[in-house]
Structure formats: C-alpha cells, structure tokens
C-alpha cells in the first residue's frame, strides 16, 4: 500500500497507543503490530498504555505490553492496576494494594501507569471513588517518585445530555445521563481534589482533559500544578474547537507547549493506515500550516508553531516525564507476575502467554 502521508520531520514520540487484541483479522499476532507504523511515519518512539481493566481486557494487557516492549526497541509502556473481582470475578492475591502493584509494575520495567479509572464506564464498574484512601496512598507514592500517570478522566459533557448525545455515542454505551454514572462535574471534582492533595503529581490527562471549550480552566490548572499536562489524543470534538478558535489556540499551544503531549490513541487491531491517518492529522496540526483534511472532513491548516514548541509537544515533554530511554524489561519479574496473576486469565490467554514466554523469555 502506498504511503500517502509524509513522514514526520522531527523526533516524534506517539505517547498513547493501545493493544486490544492478540491477533488482527488476518491472524497476525500483536507482537510487532506498531512497527510498520513506526517505520513508515519515521517515529522515534512509541508508548503503549495497558488497559488491564478496560474494554473487556484483563491482566494479560499488562503482560502483552511488557512483551511488546521487550521485543521492539525504543518502546515505552505504562502498566495498569488490577482490581478485585473485576473483570474476571476472581480475587487478587492478598495484600495487592495499589502501591504494591505500582512496585510490581516498576520492577517489571514499566515506564509509568495508565489509568482509565476516571472514564465514566470504568469508574462505575469498579465502584470506587478516586479519592478513597487506597488511591490516595497510591497517588502520594506516585507523586513522590515522579511516576508518569496517563489518566483518562471524564468524557465530553454532551455524553450526559440526552438532547445532545449522538446515536453513535449511545451505541458505544457512552450515554451517561441515566443517573447510574458519576456526573461530569463529580468526575472533575475528584480529579481536581487529587491535584490539590498531590500538587506535584506527574499526571497527563488524556484527550485535552475534555477542556477544549474551557481552555481557561487548563490555564488555571497549569499555573497551580507544575507537573500536570494534557495530551492531544482525539477526541475529534476537541479539534473542532481548535479549528473554530484558531488564533486563541495558536497562542495557547505556543505558551503552554511544555504542557502538551502528542498521542494518537491508536489501537491494535486497527490497520496501520488508520494509525498513520491519525498521526498525520495530529502532528501536522501542530507542526506546519499545510492545508490538510481535518477530523470533520473540512480542510484546515495547522498551527505552524515555533520549533521549540513543536519539539516540546512531539517529543521533549514525553521524555522529561518518562525518561529519555525506555526502561529495560526484567524477565524474571515478568515471569513472576504472570505466575501470580494467571488465575485471572482465561485458559486460551494463559496458553498464549506461555507460548510467548517459551519463545522469547
């Protein structure tokens, strides 16, 4: 297939990717799934965000990301926390509080933590307030260590509004206005309180923290919390706000370029072409003023930021937060992790991990 997207011109890290399946439709394993994308686009590095409690995944998500990191050079990964009785209905071993899990993830060689726990769906399933004691100890420890947390909190406000929510969103199960989900305001309240309690937390809120219509809120947060960032993973709705307020956002991106990280939220088993399409839109939006097809199919030019701002956004901020090189995978620690938690996996996935370990570990 021809490459219709130009390769990137800068040192670029896609800081937010997911692996959601063992194989794609053609039966190809996940194990090198982003490498064609990396090569074709000329990316310097990638960061995988594990989702062991999201979208029907389980602990194998952490193991898959660790294996990917082991087998593909210059790959970072953020591991995720595990929960009692969800999603497998089996208990975690005794004593596996979140700080102990953080220790385990670090020992394996994860570069940070991914949390989807602030997304209304998962927040409801887990049934824990993000301000509870156990989370509080975890955030205190992460703050102390400077652990980079990639945190999805909230969703667009219209997902709570039955008059505004789209059918597509409803079909995804993302209409939250039936009274069974935390409210939009409550999820922000929890996130804001986490920041008040842990003002030095190295947290990156995904999808612009759903604040593209209230960027002044971000300005206030940036002024208060020196290690808080946001990422540019679409959320197409946020790009629509960017396009509609071009002058404002050009200044905003320039001024806060040390608080904004590039990412696509691309996910295997999508096709490589999809990853490339997304990266092209996000990267060219910040880096040039070519007129390119925008997310809503209108044609828009990019912000054409200064060299310094581009470098911050597409690479430097990530490196400052997660390190200039990914951590090494500790094979023994990974093996021990699998043995400890494999009772939370289905038989088929246990066999898959055993086969991978036999081949590569």
Q: Which is nearer to Zn ion, 58 or 300 (CB)?
A: 58
Shortest Cβ 49–Zn ion spacing (Å): 6
Shortest Cβ 152–Zn ion spacing (Å): 6
What are the phi and psi torsion angles at 24 (to 5°)? -95, -175
Indicate the Cα dihedral angle 99, 13, 235, 292, nearest 10°: 180
Q: Which is nearer to Zn ion, 111 or 265 (CB)?
A: 265
Shortest Cβ 100–Zn ion spacing (Å): 25
Q: Which is nearer to Zn ion, 47 or 334 (CB)?
A: 47
Q: Point out which span in 63-71, 167-175, 247-255, 263-271 binds Zn ion (CB under 5 A).
A: 263-271
Q: CA–CA distance from 161 to each of 29, 101, 118 (Å)?
A: 40, 37, 19
Q: Which is nearer to Zn ion, 104 or 265 (CB)?
A: 265
What are the phi and psi torsion angles at 261 (to 5°)? -120, 140
Q: Which is nearer to Zn ion, 63 or 116 (CB)?
A: 116
The H-or-E segment that residue 121 falls in is helix 120-126
Q: Point out which span in 20-28, 185-193, 261-269, 349-357 binds Zn ion (CB under 5 A).
A: 261-269
Q: Which is nearer to Zn ion, 265 or 280 (CB)?
A: 265
Q: Point out which span in 2-10, 100-108, 137-145, 258-266 binds Zn ion (CB under 5 A).
A: 258-266
Cα-Cα end-to-end distance for the chain: 34
What are the phi and psi torsion angles at 110 (to 5°)? -70, 150
Shortest Cβ 18–Zn ion spacing (Å): 6
Shortest Cβ 309–Zn ion spacing (Å): 24
In DSSP terms, 86 is beta-bridged to 83
The H-or-E segment that residue 133 falls in is helix 133-145
Are residues 25 and 269 in contact, defined by beta-carbon separation less than 8 angstroms? yes
231 binds Zn ion (CB under 5 A): no
The residue whose Cβ lies closest to Zn ion is: 265
Q: Which is nearer to Zn ion, 43 or 48 (CB)?
A: 48
Shortest Cβ 29–Zn ion spacing (Å): 21
Which token pair is 174?
């993302």
Which token pair is 271?
């096709």
Closest to 159 (Cα-Cα) out of 142, 171, 143, 147: 171
Q: Which is nearer to Zn ion, 54 or 87 (CB)?
A: 54
Shortest Cβ 272–Zn ion spacing (Å): 18
The H-or-E segment that residue 241 falls in is helix 236-244
Q: Point out which span in 88-96, 216-224, 259-267, 313-321 binds Zn ion (CB under 5 A).
A: 259-267
Shortest Cβ 60–Zn ion spacing (Å): 17
Find the binder of Zn ion among 104, 111, 265, 280 (CB under 5 A).
265
What is the C-alpha R_g of the chain? 20
Shortest Cβ 343–Zn ion spacing (Å): 27
Total binding residues for Zn ion by CB under 5 A?
1
Q: Point out which span in 97-105, 156-164, 265-273, 280-288 binds Zn ion (CB under 5 A).
A: 265-273
Characterise 299 by phi-psi region: left (phi > 0), alpha (psi -120 to 50), beta (else): beta
Closest to 105 (Cα-Cα) out of 136, 76, 85, 128: 76
Residues 316, 164: Cα–Cα separation, whole Å: 38
Q: Which is nearer to Zn ion, 92 or 261 (CB)?
A: 261
Rule CB under 5 A: which residues touch Zn ion? 265
């Amino acid at each position: 297939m021809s490459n219709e997207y130009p390769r990137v011109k800068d040192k670029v890290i896609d800081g937010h990717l997911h692996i959601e399946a063992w194989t794609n439709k053609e039966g190809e394993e996940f194990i090198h799934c982003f490498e064609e994308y990396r090569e074709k686009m000329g990316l310097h590095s990638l960061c995988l965000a594990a989702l062991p409690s999201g979208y029907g995944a389980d602990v194998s998500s952490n193991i898959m990301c660790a294996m990917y990191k082991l087998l593909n050079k210059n790959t970072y990964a953020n591991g995720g926390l595990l929960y009692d009785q969800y999603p497998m209905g089996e208990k975690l071993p005794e004593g596996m509080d979140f700080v102990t899990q953080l220790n385990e993830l670090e020992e394996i060689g994860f570069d940070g933590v991914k949390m989807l726990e602030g997304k209304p769906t998962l927040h409801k399933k887990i049934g824990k307030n993000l301000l509870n004691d156990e989370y509080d100890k975890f955030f205190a420890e992460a703050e102390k260590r400077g652990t980079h947390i990639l945190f999805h909190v909230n969703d667009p406000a219209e997902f709570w509004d039955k008059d505004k929510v789209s059918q597509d969103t409803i079909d995804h199960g993302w209409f939250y206005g039936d009274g069974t989900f935390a409210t939009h305001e409550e999820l922000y309240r929890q996130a804001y309180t986490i920041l008040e309690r842990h003002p030095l937390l190295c947290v990156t809120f995904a999808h612009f923290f759903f604040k593209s219509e209230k960027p002044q809120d971000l300005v206030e947060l940036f002024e208060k919390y020196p290690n808080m960032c946001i990422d540019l993973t679409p959320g197409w709705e946020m790009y629509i706000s960017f396009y509609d307020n071009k002058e404002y956002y050009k200044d905003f991106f320039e001024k806060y370029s040390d608080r904004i990280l590039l990412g696509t939220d691309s996910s295997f088993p999508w096709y490589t072409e999809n990853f490339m399409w997304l990266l092209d839109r996000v990267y060219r939006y910040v880096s040039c003023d070519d007129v390119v097809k925008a997310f809503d199919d209108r044609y828009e030019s990019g912000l054409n930021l200064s060299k310094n701002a581009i470098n911050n956004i597409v690479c430097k901020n990530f490196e400052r937060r997660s390190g200039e090189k990914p951590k090494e995978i500790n094979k023994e620690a990974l093996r021990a992790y699998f043995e400890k938690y494999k009772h939370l996996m289905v038989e088929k996935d246990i066999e898959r991990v055993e086969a991978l370990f036999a081949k590569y570990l």
